[in-house]
Chain A
Amino acid sequence: MSVLVYVENQDGKFRNAAFEALSFGNAIATSLGTGMIACSIGKVSDEELKCAGKYGASVILSASPELINPQVCSGILSKAAVSEKATVVIVPASFFGKAVAPRVAVKLKAAYGDNVVELPQMSSGFIVKKGAYSGKAFEYVELLSEVKVISLVPNSFKMVEKPVEIVIKTVDATVSDPEKALKVIDTVRNTNKVSLPDAEIVVSAGRGLKGPENWGMIEELASVLGAATACSKPVSDAGWRPHSEHVGQTGIAISPNLYIAIGISGAIQHLAGVSNSKVIVVINKDPEAPFFKAADYGIVGDAFEVVPKLIEAAKKFKAAGN
């Protein structure tokens, strides 16, 4: 028996979501009294591979296929799960992980617990908790098969260091012809920007900002705080901001530690995607804005006066070594 964790990398570096998955996996392995094995796919240096040992993996399997797509990765992971006799396979619920994990479940004839937000209940059965109804509820799902596949929502489980000696094992990764149909031609990353689903702090703005020309202060506040930027749906519909920034029921659902909403009214569809944020701060000039009912902290005021003050304060806060 073992717990197998997919450690996803981006350009050869493991992402926080991977270390969270390892920390989560390690807690499950400890409860089950088994060991934890990591699996990395893609070109990653030995030094980086060893980082998985910091979070409790005693073995890391490393595969470098000629081409990477969800079909290829799910093939490698399910083979690893079989050879390592894994009973729990954990994949970060990142964009890529979500395209991989359900395939692994089908290949292994395993139950799939998607978008899990906390440790499973394992006292009787194996029950996971996941987000449902676009942030309005949680669903508890019992996974009945012997082997279980879980995807873990980024930012929902804290990284816990537990250094152990780690062994690197290279595994075979031949790609079959049918797996070659899907090719990535180009990758475009928004440079210097924090990715929205992984972000610990998100600064978001809505129609209250009046127009795209006013986003400079939103970007500045985000950059001082090391935050990602987001927006409400009408803002992306109007083309003021890209669709990839739109959060809510029909956009991205996020669960950062801090969500700062500026000039957003707090419509139910918007709240659906952001209500799992740990702390919500709302800035709106209308004291009756519904968002204040869903906020931890509120500032009633004009964004064009309040945000510059926040930028100054954030700079001071950071300069003071915070």
Chain B
Amino acid sequence: MKILVCISNVPDTTAKINFSPDNKNFISSGVTFILNPYDEIALSKALDIATASAGTVTVIHVGDASTEPTIRKALAIGAHDAVRVNADPRDALFVASQIAACVKSDSYDLILCGRESSDHNSSSVPVMLAELLGLPCVLFAKSLTLEGNTAKMDNEIAGGKEVVSCTLPLVVCASEGMAEWKIPNMRGIMSARTKPLRVVDAVEVPVLSLITGYDKPAARSTVKLIPADAAGELFDTLRAEKKII
């Protein structure tokens, strides 16, 4: 079983997000970057499957050289090798097209992603990738089991879940619950330094969208306290002051 895991490099979950004074650029200085939490779940699952099937796990990332610590982290957790497409991941179509180009030259039985990146939150890279490759995609998989050439998944839907089955190859995106996070051990960290990390050039992709700026949610005014013994007044207050109930 050959498995590919697509990983993104995102600000640490505790990071304060700041933009340039004109709100045009994200300020990355002072921000620690990590492996996207959902991608870590995907990687963990991939390693379990590979162990059970004597398979291999390759991780792929589209990004510049500054993202290599995140790729090495994935190798330390246990991925066998890595590919980095050397380019600015400017939008989902660009990223998906790069990964698709790599998959076309080197095929995989299973492609795992996270359900969304914690920076763009778009859930579009895996779906676009699947579309470019003509493959099915399960976007909110809470579980994944393989029986021969068939994958079975619990996929989250509005107000519940559906049980889906699909023949390989396919793209599956990890949600919470699919696997436990794995912590790299000393041997993993040591061996990650020497595992193969191939850097490839990007393919050309038409520019269809452009980030023009950022904004932060409006700050809330200071909290209005309601005494605990008057808690019952909450709904009348919400009706009178906010008209939301």
Stretch at the interface among B44-52, B66-74, B154-162: B154-162
Q: How far is the CA of A236 from the CA of B177 in the complex (A)?
A: 9
Residues of B within 8 A of A194 (CB): 159
The answer to whether B134 touches A144 (Cβ under 8 A) is no
Q: Which of A268-322 contact B (CB under 8 A)?
A: 268-269, 272, 275-276, 278-283, 292-302, 305-306, 309-310, 312-314, 316-317, 322
The answer to whether A137 touches B17 (Cβ under 8 A) is yes
Q: How far is the CA of A244 from the CA of B161 in the complex (A)?
A: 9
Per-residue 0/1 for A169-207: is the Cβ within 8 Å of any B Cβ (1 yes, 0 no)?
Answer: 000000000100111111111100111011001000000
- Contact among A95, A134, A139, A301 with B139 in the assembled complex (CB-CB below 8 Å): A95
Interface flag for A99 (CB, 8 Å):
yes
Interface flag for A114 (CB, 8 Å):
yes
Interface flag for B92 (CB, 8 Å):
yes
Q: How far is the CA of A198 from the CA of B158 in the complex (A)?
A: 8
The answer to whether B228 touches A301 (Cβ under 8 A) is yes
The answer to whether B123 touches A295 (Cβ under 8 A) is no
Tell me the minimal C-beta distance from B160 to chain A in angstroms.
4
Q: How far is the CA of A268 from the CA of B17 in the complex (A)?
A: 11
Interface flag for A131 (CB, 8 Å):
yes
Interface flag for A129 (CB, 8 Å):
yes
- Contact among A103, A130, A299 with B226 in the assembled complex (CB-CB below 8 Å): A299
Interface flag for B105 (CB, 8 Å):
no
The answer to whether B93 touches A106 (Cβ under 8 A) is yes
Stretch at the interface among B55-63, B124-132, B192-200: B124-132
Per-residue 0/1 for A104-122: is the Cβ within 8 Å of any B Cβ (1 yes, 0 no)?
Answer: 0111011111110000000
Q: Which of B189-245 contact A (CB under 8 A)?
A: 206-217, 220-221, 223-228, 231-239, 242, 244-245
The answer to whether A140 touches B209 (Cβ under 8 A) is no
Interface flag for A74 (CB, 8 Å):
yes
The answer to whether A181 touches B124 (Cβ under 8 A) is no
Q: How far is the CA of A183 from the CA of B224 in the complex (A)?
A: 51
Total interface residues in chain B, CB < 8 Å: 79
Please give 18 more A-B residue pairs, beta carbons under 8 A apart, in addition to A145-B208, A258-B244.
A70-B137, A70-B139, A95-B139, A99-B127, A114-B92, A134-B13, A141-B212, A142-B210, A181-B166, A182-B166, A183-B166, A184-B163, A243-B176, A275-B217, A292-B223, A299-B226, A299-B234, A306-B231
Interface flag for A223 (CB, 8 Å):
no
- Contact among A137, A183, A186, A306 with B217 in the assembled complex (CB-CB below 8 Å): A137
Per-residue 0/1 for B2-35: is the Cβ within 8 Å of any A Cβ (1 yes, 0 no)?
Answer: 0000000001011001010000000000000000
- Contact among B124, B140, B210 with A114 in the assembled complex (CB-CB below 8 Å): B124
- Contact among A143, A236, A279 with B176 in the assembled complex (CB-CB below 8 Å): A236
Closest to A133 in B: B17
The answer to whether B163 touches A309 (Cβ under 8 A) is no
Q: How far is the CA of A310 from the CA of B232 in the complex (A)?
A: 5
- Contact among A96, A138, A145 with B215 in the assembled complex (CB-CB below 8 Å): A138
Interface flag for B175 (CB, 8 Å):
yes
Known: A181-B167, A186-B162, A188-B161. A103 touches B128 (CB 8 A): yes
Most buried by B among A136, A194, A201: A136
Tell me the minimal C-beta distance from A109 to chain B in angstroms.
8
The answer to whether A185 touches B37 (Cβ under 8 A) is no
Interface flag for A65 (CB, 8 Å):
no
Total interface residues in chain A, CB < 8 Å: 102
Residues of B within 8 A of A53 (CB): none
Closest to B118 in A: A134
Residues of A within 8 A of B164 (CB): 182-185
What is B's interface to A at a CB cutoff of 8 Å?
11, 13-14, 17, 19, 37-38, 92-93, 96, 118-124, 127-128, 130-132, 134, 136-140, 142, 152, 155-167, 170, 175-177, 206-217, 220-221, 223-228, 231-239, 242, 244-245
Tell me the minimal C-beta distance from A153 to chain B in angstroms.
10
**Which 4 A/B pairs are nearest by Cβ-Cβ distance?**
A301-B228, A195-B159, A313-B232, A189-B160
The answer to whether B158 touches A95 (Cβ under 8 A) is yes
Residues of A within 8 A of B118 (CB): 133-134, 249-250
Interface flag for A168 (CB, 8 Å):
no
The answer to whether A201 touches B245 (Cβ under 8 A) is yes
Residues of A within 8 A of B235 (CB): 313-314, 317, 322
The answer to whether B208 touches A143 (Cβ under 8 A) is yes
The answer to whether B128 touches A105 (Cβ under 8 A) is yes
- Contact among A15, A113, A301 with B209 in the assembled complex (CB-CB below 8 Å): A113
Per-residue 0/1 for A233-272: is the Cβ within 8 Å of any B Cβ (1 yes, 0 no)?
Answer: 0001000000110100111010001100000000011001
Closest to A283 in B: B231
Interface flag for A132 (CB, 8 Å):
yes
Q: How far is the CA of A181 from the CA of B137 in the complex (A)?
A: 10
The answer to whether B139 touches A98 (Cβ under 8 A) is yes
Residues of A within 8 A of B223 (CB): 282, 292-293, 295-298
Per-residue 0/1 for A197-219: is the Cβ within 8 Å of any B Cβ (1 yes, 0 no)?
Answer: 11001000000000000000000
